[in-house]
Amino acid sequence: MTIPFKLHNIVKRYQEREVLSIERLEIPAGEINAILGPNGSGKTTLLRIMALLLVNDEGRLEVLGEKVNWSKGQILRLRRQMSMVTQTSYMFQGSVYYNVAYGLRQRKVSESGIKRSVKEALEMVGMSAYQEADARTLSGGERQKAAIARALVLKPQVLFLDEPTSNIDMASAAEIEKHILAINQNWGTTIIMVTHNLFQAKRLADEVIFLHEGHLIEKGRAETVFDQPRDERTAAFLRGETVY
């Protein structure tokens, strides 16, 4: 399966206002994709639809090779092959261990298996020392790293990121970017990332998607699209002007 996401004529409305309208979008496997655009352009909506957290009002959605019919069984099955890290990841009440173990527990993995995997995941993000810490006492950077471990430990095919480094210190942000690259390179995980940070997008992404007022206005390879945007609105956005 080379194309984990296929969107045809996807429309999402919020109280009669169209917030997302995409005629066609295909995302191939194994790449890092960045979704960019001004506020209100529908980035998070698009992400949540792809992550199967939001039901589209119109159109056809294919995820991981399956046509999505939103049945309970299918959604659960598909979700269990993906995971997500949001801007301020919610930590469940309890230890970091509990949080990282959460996804594995839902999948009924054995306790000994969980112990091993959690240890590995925390090592990967450099948070081993925090295993028994209260998840609520972590700093912003620590929390995001824990969230990454929590998502990673599940070895997902697709990893969604919604502004994962917006609120944290530079050092942690840099570390997290390293992890994102490593995940993609070592495991071939498809990464779909919403970000405000153009530089971050340039650093990490293979493919970049631009949204504007709910529409897909540009899509291209990271090497070229920043220097030669085809759409005037994209260019204005890249220049830093507010685009209406």
Partner 1 sequence: MDTILQGIKEGFYLILQMDAEIIEVTVLSLQVSLTALILSALIGIPAGAASALKKFPGKKLLLNIVYTLMGLPPVLAGLLVYLLLTYRGPLGQYELLFTPAAMVIAQVLLATPIIWGLTARAVMALEQNVYDTAATLGASRRQAAFTLVREARMGIIAALTTAFGRVIAEVGAVMLVGGNIRWATRVLTTSIVLETRMGNFSTALALGMILLMISFLINLMIIMLEKRTFRYDNTIQIT
CB of 90 to partner 1, least distance (A): 5
* Site of tokens 């230890």: 95
- Interface residue with partner 1 among 58, 60, 92, 228 (CB under 8 A) is 92
Considering only 8, 80, 203, 215, the residue that binds partner 1 (CB under 8 A) is 80
Answer yes or no: are the C-beta atoms of 49 and 94 closer than 8 Å: no
Considering the complex, what minimum distance in angstroms separates the CB of residue 108 from partner 1?
10
Q: What is the SS3 assignment for 194? A: strand
Angstrom distance (rounded) from CA 78 to CA 123: 27
Q: Is residue 160 involved in binding partner 1 (CB under 8 A)? A: yes
Cβ-based nearer residue to partner 1, 113 or 223:
113
> Are 214 and 42 in contact, with CB atoms under 8 Å apart?
yes
CA–CA separation, 232 vs 236, rounded Å? 6
Q: And the tokens for 221?
A: 């390879």
Of these, 97, 102, 130, 226, which contacts partner 1 (CB under 8 A)?
102
95 binds partner 1 (CB under 8 A): yes
Residue 106 in contact with partner 1, rule: CB under 8 A: yes
Under 8 Å between Cβ of 91 and 136: yes
Classify residue 101 as left (phi > 0), alpha (psi -120 to 50) or beta: alpha
Q: How many angstroms separate the CA atoms of 193 and 209, rounded? A: 10
Q: Torsion-angle region of residue 42: left (phi > 0), alpha (psi -120 to 50) or beta? A: left
Give strand pairing partners of 191.
Answer: 32, 159
Token pair belonging to 179: 């992890």
Residue 74 interacts with partner 1 (CB under 8 A): yes or no: no
Q: Nearest-5° angle of CA 26, CA 164, CA 52?
A: 45
Choosing from 51, 122, 146, 243, the residue that interacts with partner 1 (CB under 8 A) is: 51
Q: Which among 11-19, 58-66, 86-94, 216-224 is the span making contact with partner 1, rule CB under 8 A?
A: 86-94
Give the residue, chosen from 17, 90, 186, 244, that forms a contact with partner 1 under the rule CB under 8 A. 90
- CB count within 10 Å of CB 64 equals 17
Kindly indicate which of the ranges 116-124, 148-156, 199-207, 221-229 contains the residues binding partner 1, using the contact rule CB under 8 A: 148-156
The mark string for 19-48 relative to partner 1 (x by CB under 8 A, - otherwise) is -----------------------------x
The residue (of 70 and 223) whose beta carbon lies closer to partner 1 is: 70
Site for partner 1, residues 116 to 135, rule: CB under 8 A: 134
> Residues interacting with partner 1, by CB under 8 A?
48, 51, 53, 72, 76, 79-80, 82-84, 86, 88-90, 92-95, 102-103, 106-107, 134, 136, 150-151, 154, 160
